[in-house]
Chain A
């Protein structure tokens, strides 16, 4: 039985100041609107035992996006990060450049910001952004430190989506140092976010 979906605007408390400023520069009728998310699991998700090496159980997300503006929008279609909370059964998916800061004790010595896959949504039309993520979440173990565990993504009641988009596509420019590209990625276009009840069968 398909579950009725509901969409609510996510409070903007965790938007960065730059994101808030960018939002102010555009009227809301030019921002993409997220109407819903459909979730399916690949057949092997049901067959493969969680944690079996080599198994590729995946979650397939279809994000229903509207472009209410009068210019084509380049909508990000790559999950830059994701998380799952088994207590609240909320899946969070970042189709946007992550904004979290590293703790001071972590020194990053590689730097590979990647341009996302981008889907063009024409003016005054809707499109489904298809995204695949592994049906599991790796997380630090109960004792912290380097030990970690792999948890399957269980039943999902709500999906939090951050979705970045712009009227121009973004790509890495040859010769561009990684920090500059990361900065461009973070400042590119706009980010909308929504918390949605997925249009999928109620999971057991």
Chain B
């Protein structure tokens, strides 16, 4: 027995587990974790995860491999069942309201015993989550870290060393310091702030000292409550309010964004020039782009708003004399080619993280793609570029609503996002039809094919 995912889970563990594997394509064959349902755990028909070998070599990937693979030197009989929640209460009734939290426990009433890992993968319904560093500062608590922390408890139980011995917090005989020491391994890999392993506090939101998960925007604007942050948050809320598939897409973008952005943000906080350059070259053009896309797709505003958004994109780009050069550098990074030796020092500093981002499908689409499009087109036909960008959204990789009626409702909403550019809807539709051939009729009905 080893690691399973509960297909009833209302959240999504795919991005979190892939982050723990350091984006190892070998993990679960690169497929979403609920792609196949193969076995029974107690009364649940669950998905057993696979991990034939680790190719990334990171410590967290190795731990995940150990949890998945029972012939890796460990032999325990209790399956570990991961239940990701989109907020809400523990469905089994033992953990209370788990919005913004996670819990691990063993059900000994069944044979074999089931080790339950139940956690909120929604970042507290989109509000963000925080814990504390050794300075008492609130620091972000991304979903992959929450899951890895819980899996640490499960691992300690599976190897029958629970609580796991530790000497850092001598008065604390719980398993928490050891789990937090483990989670700091993942935090180090992600380049984000380390947790105080003797402080188990935390909660929803940015915490008493701020922080909201928008690392780079917060760093460049030097505030967790800047106008840019509010603009981004408001747009995100509008998409989430309209479409559950849109909400899921945003959740996955954020899941990947956590993998590379904290390290960039912490570097920006030390360098005023790099901070200002990133604000003008990256943050403001991107915000203008998202605002334009929102105005076109969400149709909650008139032509005047669209025109204003177009002006904002053009203004952001014309203020950005480095834009074309940065665009060509991003193209180089995305293609995997080496950077020229005379590339700006700032770009070379961020090269590793940018290459990491370029390999992540959601972050690459959401961040790198618009930056390149804005520079390549010379802003001559921005509406067309936005439509092509929306057409390329990796919708076909999202978790579908199980119920056909619910799926059709979502397709109907999604179709309206492309009303301003029907050819873009058909482009997106051709990939959806290939991924979801059983709903070809519905796709046709809503104009996707």
A interface residues, Cβ below 8 angstroms from B: 42-44, 47-49, 51-56, 58, 78-83, 94, 98, 102-103, 105-117, 132-134, 136-141, 143-150, 171-172, 174-179, 181
Contacts and interface: CB of A to CB of B under 8 A. Distances in A.
Interface string B150-167: 100110110000100000
Contact of B91 (A83, A108, A148): A148
Contacts of B91: 138-140, 148-150
Contacts of A79: 97, 99
Contacts of B150: 110
Given A53-B248, A109-B175, A172-B200, A47 B10 contact: no
A80 B98 CA distance: 8
Given A56-B240, A82-B97, A149-B91, 19 more contacts: A42-B241, A44-B242, A49-B406, A53-B244, A54-B12, A54-B247, A54-B248, A56-B122, A103-B94, A106-B94, A107-B106, A111-B176, A112-B200, A138-B89, A145-B110, A150-B10, A174-B199, A175-B169, A178-B172
24 contacts: A53-B10, A53-B244, A56-B86, A56-B247, A81-B96, A81-B97, A103-B94, A105-B109, A109-B105, A109-B106, A113-B200, A116-B203, A140-B93, A145-B42, A145-B44, A145-B110, A146-B6, A150-B10, A172-B199, A172-B201, A175-B169, A175-B198, A178-B174, A181-B200
B8 A147 contact: yes
Contacts of A56: 86-87, 122, 125-126, 240, 247
Interface string B131-173: 0100010000000000001100110110000100000010111
B103 interface: yes
B88 interface: yes
B104 interface: yes
Contacts of A177: 169, 171-174
B90 interface: yes
Contacts of A137: 88-89
A79 to B, nearest CB: 5
Contacts of B104: 108-110
A42 B87 CA distance: 15
Interface stretch (B67-75, B371-379, B397-405, B418-426): B397-405
Interface string B355-366: 000000000000
Interface residues of B, number: 83
B336 to A, nearest CB: 32
B409 A49 contact: yes
Nearest to A117: B203
Interface in B317-335: none
A138 B11 CA distance: 12
Contacts of B175: 109-111
A115 B176 contact: no
B92 A133 contact: no
Contact of A109 (B109, B122, B162, B203): B162
A110 to B, nearest CB: 4
A111 B201 CA distance: 11
Contacts of A109: 104-106, 115, 153-154, 156-157, 162, 175
B220 to A, nearest CB: 27
Given A53-B248, A102-B94, A174 B86 contact: no
A111 to B, nearest CB: 5
A111 B157 CA distance: 14
Contacts of A172: 199-201
B191 interface: no
A112 B409 contact: no
B81 interface: yes
B202 interface: yes
A13 B144 CA distance: 42
A153 B97 CA distance: 15
Contacts of A116: 203
B245 interface: yes
Contact of B244 (A55, A102, A143, A175): A55
B94 A108 contact: yes
Nearest to B11: A53
Contacts of B368: none
B386 to A, nearest CB: 23
Nearest to B152: A110
Interface string B231-245: 000000000111011
A14 to B, nearest CB: 16
Contact of B92 (A54, A98, A136, A140): A140
A29 to B, nearest CB: 31
A80 B90 CA distance: 11
B108 interface: yes
Given A53-B399, A56-B122, A134 B101 contact: no
A177 B245 CA distance: 41
B62 interface: no
Given A106-B107, A109-B162, A174 B174 contact: no
Most buried by B among A54, A55, A83, A137: A54
